[in-house]
Chains A and B, each alone.
Chain A
Amino acid sequence: MRSIRPLLISACAVTLAVAAACDDTRSITLEPVGNLGFGTILNRTSTNLPRGTALFPVAITASATPANDSVIVTLAGLDSLTSGSYTLWFANDSATRFARVTSMNLTVTRVDSTLNAQGDPTFTPTVTTRPGVSSFRAGGSNLSFRVATARNAATAIAVTDSLNVLLVSIEPGTPGAAPAETRPLWGRRSQGGTTRLAPLRFGAFGRAIPASAGAPGANQEFVFATNGVMTIVPRGRVEVRGKIMVLNDSNYFRPPVGYYYNAYAVKFDTTGRFNDTVYIGRRTSPYPERISLYEADKSNPAPSAVFDSPLVVFAMATRVSTDTIPDANSAQPWLNFGLVRVNLQSKFSQEGRMGPNTVMQADLPKSVRGR
């Protein structure tokens, strides 16, 4: 009996251990964390980028009557500027000679829309003529421009100079002999073919891009869009979780010189119409750096997200909290906010006021906007 006592003790100890270690409940493996998230996708919008056409005169050099060598330019999708002004230039193909257009007849057409009694939109155009101007600042999503000028309106162009390039620059001050670095729109006679009607390209013309190895030369171009159409398709998502809204998107062109990307949220009224636009800031590189990409037009503030060749922003992000946005800081955060927009905006326009150049847009789901 004595010899088996230790075995009994051992068995008892094991029994005790097992009894203590075992439990009839199963461990809970999932634990919800905080608020739900709601996501939606950013889609490329119908373009409202800067665009237009340029109709060149028949004669490449001056004809017998240069005053009849008319140049007709149409423009749309321009930001309204708070500093600087849109200025037109004539140039030769190699962009070695520039001549500023000092007189032009500007016709501005403003289209306002309202809803009639049947709920259908009605459009009311208002035309304003401004003859003999040398530059202008107006812009907006509902403004279009027709510029009528002629070869002899640019006094600096010699009669033997070829007029093959029409360039729109933004001049921050008194123009010099050549356009300033912000040269967002241009058209070449050669791009118009036999019609001489060239679609304007939007981007950065020539040496406006910082000079570096492989960068475009004086007569080269960084084309963001041709006649308003981008050849790149950005993509991304908007996610809302409680007070936090995050945009993560990718595959954008670098902003043309003088432009930057920003984002806005659009608040609806109770009938679903635009009520307010809320600025949610300049775009940044993604987490964890979140470096501002405001200067990505001329430098590379975040090499991990911004490429120099090709000129592409590989990834962008925005993160905001309603704590810093009183208009969205309701009991249900982001209540009535229905749209999120990624815009390209001129640095010469008023920051925080939404311009016409929406590149991407997301419709926030009802789960977020609350109706």
Chain B
Amino acid sequence: MSRVLRSLALTAISAAALQAQSIPKQFSVTTRIGALSAERSASLDPAGLIGLDTEYALTKFFGIGTAVDVSRGNSTKKDFLTRLRYGNAAVAGGDSIFYQNIGQAVSTVNLSVFGTLRYPSKTFSPFVMGGVGSYVMMLDPQVNGKATRKNDLSYTGGVGLWYKLGERVGVQLDARAVTYTKWDRNILNPAFGRPELLTPFPEDFPVPPASKNTALNTMITLGFRYIPGGIGGGN
């Protein structure tokens, strides 16, 4: 904990000492922290997220870069009903059935390449960005009883604002829409395809919204943006 506090203090001191400036032909690095919220049909709960962007400013206005976003949250439990059955209905005494919603931890890495269009000003630089990449979703091996992973194409689009704290440092607030393609929420159900899913009481449990083959995620992050000196041919 003390290390975290020291880091906070150092960040504040460093930021205060620098001046704002947008520098073409230079790399920048942005570390981000935020939250990821999926559309309801994806059956994913909101998740915490950290991200890292590296960008090369082609001109004062345009840049290209790569982004890595790592999130970890849970699947939406109430969308996945299963039952634990004890005893045998065919023998005297029947059986007992526990109805349970089952969720699991979901770790997702989204890798993308993107382009940005920036409108620099003295203090604020609003920008729009768009990218394409791949998401890799890793599920809980204990819950699933096996290693379960899914990866497919993802698209990213977003808007943001960079507030310049100094020549090479600033803070960035952005909102991005990340779409997972070929989405199948059944992958989140450890009991999918098994008889434990069958319930004789379908009217008594809420039905999740209709599934879709894409999952739209809204990502809001706050980041620190740096322009390392001497890298990429800069000053």
Interface residues on B, range: 35 or more
CA distance A10 to B223 in the complex (A): 10
Q: Are A21 and B94 in contact (CB under 8 A)?
A: no
Q: Are A21 and B83 in contact (CB under 8 A)?
A: no
Q: Which of A11, A239, A288 has the most CB of B within 10 A?
A: A239
B105 within 8 A of A: yes
Binds B, one of A32-40, A308-316, A328-336: A32-40
Query: Of residues 22 to 41 in A, which have CB atoms within 8 Å of B's CB atoms?
Result: 26-41
CA distance A115 to B1 in the complex (A): 80
B229 within 8 A of A: yes
Q: Are B101 and A31 in contact (CB under 8 A)?
A: yes
A27-B74, A239-B200 given as contacts; is B99 within 8 A of A32 (CB)?
A: yes
Q: What string of 1s and 0s marks CB contacts (under 8 Å) between A1-31 and chain B?
A: 0110111111111111111110000111111
Residues of B within 8 A of A5 (CB): 14
Q: Are B8 and A16 in contact (CB under 8 A)?
A: yes
Q: Are B202 and A6 in contact (CB under 8 A)?
A: no
Binds A, one of B26-34, B115-123, B179-187: B26-34
Which residue of the partner chain, among B3, B48, B78, B205, contacts A21 with CB atoms under 8 Å?
B48
Question: How far is the CB of B107 from the nearest CB of chain A, in Å?
Answer: 11
Which residue of the partner chain, among B14, B140, B201, B223, contacts A8 with CB atoms under 8 Å?
B14
Residue of B nearest to A317 (CB): B200
What are the 4 closest A-B residue pairs judged by CB atoms, nearest first?
A40-B94, A12-B7, A365-B94, A37-B97
Residues of A within 8 A of B223 (CB): 13
Which residue of the partner chain, among A29, A239, A368, contacts B201 with CB atoms under 8 Å?
A239
B104 within 8 A of A: yes
Known: A20-B48, A33-B205. 10 other contacts (CB 8 A): A16-B4, A29-B105, A29-B140, A30-B100, A31-B100, A32-B100, A37-B98, A39-B97, A244-B204, A288-B202
A248 within 8 A of B: yes
A237-B89, A366-B93 given as contacts; is B202 within 8 A of A27 (CB)?
A: no
Q: Are B205 and A31 in contact (CB under 8 A)?
A: no
Question: How far is the CB of B126 from the nearest CB of chain A, in Å?
Answer: 22
Q: What string of 1s and 0s marks CB contacts (under 8 Å) between B46-77 and chain A?
A: 00111010000000000000000000101001
A364 within 8 A of B: yes
Q: Are A15 and B204 in contact (CB under 8 A)?
A: no
Residues of A within 8 A of B96 (CB): 36-38, 367
Which residue of the partner chain, among A12, A21, A29, A367, contacts B143 with CB atoms under 8 Å?
A29
Secondary structure type dominating chain A contacts: mixed
Residues of B within 8 A of A7 (CB): 228
CA distance A363 to B92 in the complex (A): 8
Q: Are A16 and B29 in contact (CB under 8 A)?
A: no
Q: Which of B95, B228, B230 has the most CB of A within 10 A?
A: B95
CA distance A301 to B34 in the complex (A): 56
Which residue of the partner chain, among B4, B50, B203, contacts A319 with CB atoms under 8 Å?
B203
Which residue of the partner chain, among A21, A37, A239, contacts B50 with CB atoms under 8 Å?
A21
Which residue of the partner chain, among B52, B99, B143, B228, contacts A34 with CB atoms under 8 Å?
B99
A241 within 8 A of B: yes
Interface residues of A (CB under 8 A from B): 2-3, 5-21, 26-41, 237, 239, 241, 244, 246, 248, 287-288, 319, 363-368
CA distance A244 to B229 in the complex (A): 71
CA distance A9 to B28 in the complex (A): 13
Residue of B nearest to A241 (CB): B201
10 A-B residue contacts at CB 8 Å? A6-B168, A15-B4, A16-B4, A17-B32, A17-B33, A21-B50, A30-B103, A31-B102, A33-B100, A39-B97
CA distance A15 to B85 in the complex (A): 45
Residues of A within 8 A of B230 (CB): 3
Which residue of the partner chain, among A15, A35, A39, contacts B7 with CB atoms under 8 Å?
A15
Residues of B within 8 A of A11 (CB): 7
CA distance A367 to B87 in the complex (A): 12
Question: How far is the CB of A332 from the nearest CB of chain B, in Å?
Answer: 15
A9-B169, A17-B32 given as contacts; is B49 within 8 A of A287 (CB)?
A: no
